[in-house]
A and B are shown apart, each in its own frame.
Chain A
Amino acid sequence: MRTGEPRVVIGLFDGVEKAAQAAHALRSLPLPEENVTTISSVPLPDGAVTRDRRPIRFPWIVVVFWLAGALGGLALTLVTYQVYPMITAGKPINTVPPAIIVSFEGGMFAALIATLVLGFRSIGLGPFRSGKKVFDRRIHEGRIALCARVDTGEQERLAIEAMTASGGEAVRAEEGEL
């Protein structure tokens, strides 16, 4: 019975070949490619069963964080020179080497934090995780879970049939997201 929540048909496959065959059958229903994915304990090469066409863009946010961290380091050292002016020949001078070093380390520190946040965000982990996600623990026994998001009852029935016909086990529909 459909409750209006997103539904996913999930089936377990013993090997990549069977899962690939089932994925091909699902796409032929037709289900959009982005509605079909796998859950596996090892990364499958892109295209082995499903394809992820969402682009992976250059991580500009890491560059922005690096610059912010470097500026923070520079500001810190500049403040230090104001508090402890080094009087040379009657004038305070700024020493550049410490500023370079602290700025570099500040930038790298910020870039590392940004990489973790970016990684979590792009994967959808931790605070970036939303909604109930489908899962099957049996992937750790060497199975590949093929998952297809369906919009209608008819699609759900056809997807279950396609997975079962391709050798899928424990094929069922669950409420949740891919």
Chain B
Amino acid sequence: MKSENHLSRLDESKLYDELSRSNLPATKRWYAGTGALLLVVLASVAAFVYMMFTGLGVTGLNRPVMWGVMIILFVFWVGLSHSGTLISAILRITRATWRAPVLRGAEAMTALALMVGGLYPLMHLGRNWRFYYILPYPSSRQLWPNFRSPLLWDAVAITTYLTGSLLFLYFGMIPDLAIARDRAAGWRRKLYTFLAAGFRGTHAEWRRYHVASTLFAVIIIPVAVSVHSIVSWDFAMAMVPMWHSTIFAPYFVAGAIYSGIAGVIAVMVILRKAFRLEKVLTPDHFDNLGKLLLTFTLVWGYFYFSDYLTAWYSRFPEDWEVIRSYSGHYLPIFSLLVACNFLIPFPLLCLKRVRQSIPAMFAVSLVVNVGMFTERVQIVVPSLARRNDPSIWGTYFPTWVEISFIVGSIAMFALIYVIFSKLFPVVAISDVKEQLFHTTDRTIGGANFSTVVSGEGKEEGRET
């Protein structure tokens, strides 16, 4: 049976133009938007410089709550970064037919969110100009990092994950960079020629490229899981009520994937609107992402309840005091996180018409991320504020410096993403083309279907 694939119906030049719309020369609107983001980031940097010269006293940090917004932002952004590469890797390995338009945006989100998140532990250090003390190198002071500190594990894990995510993002872009190289001019052509590294698209190159990218995906998955496990151990290794829990690592990983999927959905909605990708990112893609989000709503709910139940039932006095604070001083935070992470998204995501509605999915993804940010607040603050000795109990509220870090982190992520999308294709063009090439129409009875070819061709005459 011969059939026409979907790609052959399209003019590939036009397809490229449509998918690489983000790379068009910058407009006045782009400069205005980027400039506004830059101003917000600069304001946040100014607040950081003020903090650096004045000391951590300008923050709301005080005994007993010595971890605040900077650690919350670190956990939040690392969590958000978690899902992009993980989703992309899983979709690549399973060769999910709907993966193509989602891959690049998700992979970029991981690398860029990690860049933002990785800054905050360094900012939290105090005496930031001595950040290099965490690097292992022989020095005249005989200083050496103490690997018994979980913060050092973070440094190692985030370096690995950031490097891996950037390499994964880059390797996945090579065929698209080759297309861009052959169509660009000037400095862009030089940049793409260098980055495409001579990729041409011969049969052997494609075959080996697929094997290598699958290998990358297989290796990056345990790294992604390990990173958020290690972030959870920053907490779980401390003898602090409600932190010292064996379930923390899988609970953090589940939460990170949950917020990451919501992040991917939000980014996809924005990219779709900004670069008019309606033909590529269809409601079906959001439906599939919505099902993933629904699954992780339940997984997160299960872990949260399990973690809570153990402490609730056993009623160790120090744990119980923290739990009591959830219904007292921290009731607004507790209510917001339960509502945003479970009570609102769960029933909504069960409805197909919500999953297929792009504005609704955008709203749900934002609600989930507000919920996940609140969850990070709840993990960090109440446990420290209600530590074992009631005589040192205290409260924490962020100052304007820390609030500027929250706003600045969002602006910084948006700014880096905007610049990335101006330089590189935000849609995996060759993956979209491959998907179209492998898709043909088929009629069964009175119904028409799109079918996707998968696997390798078999030689004629050979048993399959």
From the candidates A42, A62, A129, name the one contacting B219 in the complex (CB within 8 A). A62
Stretch at the interface among B6-14, B311-319, B403-411: B6-14
SS class of chain B's interface: helix, strand, loop or mixed? helix
B279 at the interface (CB under 8 A from A): no
Determine whether the beta carbon of A39 is less than 8 Å from that of B226. Answer: no
Determine whether the beta carbon of A116 is less than 8 Å from that of B160. Answer: no
Determine whether the beta carbon of A123 is less than 8 Å from that of B8. Answer: no
Please, which residues of chain B bring their CB within 8 A of the CB of A141?
Answer: 12-13
Determine whether the beta carbon of A98 is less than 8 Å from that of B148. Answer: yes
From the candidates A52, A83, A101, A115, name the one contacting B144 in the complex (CB within 8 A). A83
Residue of B nearest to A14 (CB): B8
Please, which residues of chain B bring their CB within 8 A of the CB of A140?
Answer: 12-13, 16, 179, 182-183
B324 at the interface (CB under 8 A from A): no
A106 at the interface (CB under 8 A from B): yes
Determine whether the beta carbon of B145 is less than 8 Å from that of A105. Answer: no
Please, which residues of chain A bring their CB within 8 A of the CB of B147?
Answer: 76-77, 80, 98-99, 102
Please, which residues of chain B bring their CB within 8 A of the CB of A52?
Answer: 203-204, 207
CA distance A147 to B201 in the complex (A): 12
Within 8 A of B (CB), among A60-115: 62, 73, 76-77, 79-80, 83-84, 86, 95, 98-99, 101-102, 104-106, 108-109, 111-113, 115
Please, which residues of chain A bring their CB within 8 A of the CB of B164?
Answer: 108-109, 112
CA distance A129 to B174 in the complex (A): 15
Please, which residues of chain B bring their CB within 8 A of the CB of A118?
Answer: 212, 215
A125 at the interface (CB under 8 A from B): yes
A175 CB to nearest chain B CB (Å): 16
- Interface range on chain B: under 10, 10 to 19, 20 to 34, or 35 or more? 35 or more
Please, which residues of chain B bring their CB within 8 A of the CB of A46?
Answer: 203, 207, 456-457
B273 at the interface (CB under 8 A from A): no
CA distance A111 to B167 in the complex (A): 12
Within 8 A of B (CB), among A130-148: 133, 135, 137, 139-142, 147
Please, which residues of chain B bring their CB within 8 A of the CB of A30?
Answer: none
Residue of A nearest to B220 (CB): A112
Determine whether the beta carbon of B12 is less than 8 Å from that of A41. Answer: yes
Determine whether the beta carbon of A112 is less than 8 Å from that of B223. Answer: yes
Determine whether the beta carbon of A125 is less than 8 Å from that of B174. Answer: yes
Contact mask B139-164 → A, CB, 8 Å, 1/0? Answer: 00010111110001100110110011
A35 at the interface (CB under 8 A from B): no
Please, which residues of chain A bring their CB within 8 A of the CB of B359?
Answer: none
Determine whether the beta carbon of B202 is less than 8 Å from that of A108. Answer: no
B284 at the interface (CB under 8 A from A): no
A3 at the interface (CB under 8 A from B): no
B394 CB to nearest chain A CB (Å): 31
Please, which residues of chain B bring their CB within 8 A of the CB of A102?
Answer: 147, 152-153, 156
B191 CB to nearest chain A CB (Å): 14
Determine whether the beta carbon of A101 is less than 8 Å from that of B153. Answer: yes
Q: Contacts A37-B204, A49-B203, A62-B219; is A80 near B144 (CB within 8 Å)?
A: yes
Determine whether the beta carbon of B13 is less than 8 Å from that of A44. Answer: no
A26 at the interface (CB under 8 A from B): no
Determine whether the beta carbon of B204 is less than 8 Å from that of A108. Answer: no
Q: Contacts A124-B198, A137-B182, A142-B7; is A43 near B210 (CB within 8 Å)?
A: yes
From the candidates B2, B16, B216, name the one contacting A119 in the complex (CB within 8 A). B216
Determine whether the beta carbon of B456 is less than 8 Å from that of A108. Answer: no
Please, which residues of chain A bring their CB within 8 A of the CB of B456?
Answer: 45-47
Within 8 A of A (CB), among B93-118: none
A79 CB to nearest chain B CB (Å): 7
Residue of B nearest to A66 (CB): B219
Please, which residues of chain A bring their CB within 8 A of the CB of B175?
Answer: 41
Contact mask B187-228 → A, CB, 8 Å, 1/0? Answer: 000000000011111111111111111011001101100100
Determine whether the beta carbon of B453 is less than 8 Å from that of A45. Answer: yes
B55 at the interface (CB under 8 A from A): no
A–B complex contacts, Cβ < 8 Å, 29 sampled:
A17-B2, A38-B202, A40-B201, A41-B179, A42-B434, A43-B207, A43-B209, A43-B210, A43-B434, A47-B456, A47-B457, A47-B458, A50-B203, A51-B459, A80-B144, A83-B142, A83-B144, A101-B153, A102-B152, A108-B164, A109-B159, A109-B160, A112-B160, A118-B212, A123-B209, A129-B197, A133-B198, A142-B7, A142-B12
- A interface list, Cβ under 8 A from B: 15, 17, 37-52, 54, 56, 59, 62, 73, 76-77, 79-80, 83-84, 86, 95, 98-99, 101-102, 104-106, 108-109, 111-113, 115-116, 118-120, 122-126, 129, 133, 135, 137, 139-142, 147, 178
Task: Kindly list 4 other residue pairs between chains A and B, CB separation below 8 angstroms, not including A108-B160, A109-B160, A142-B11.
Answer: A83-B142, A98-B148, A112-B220, A119-B215
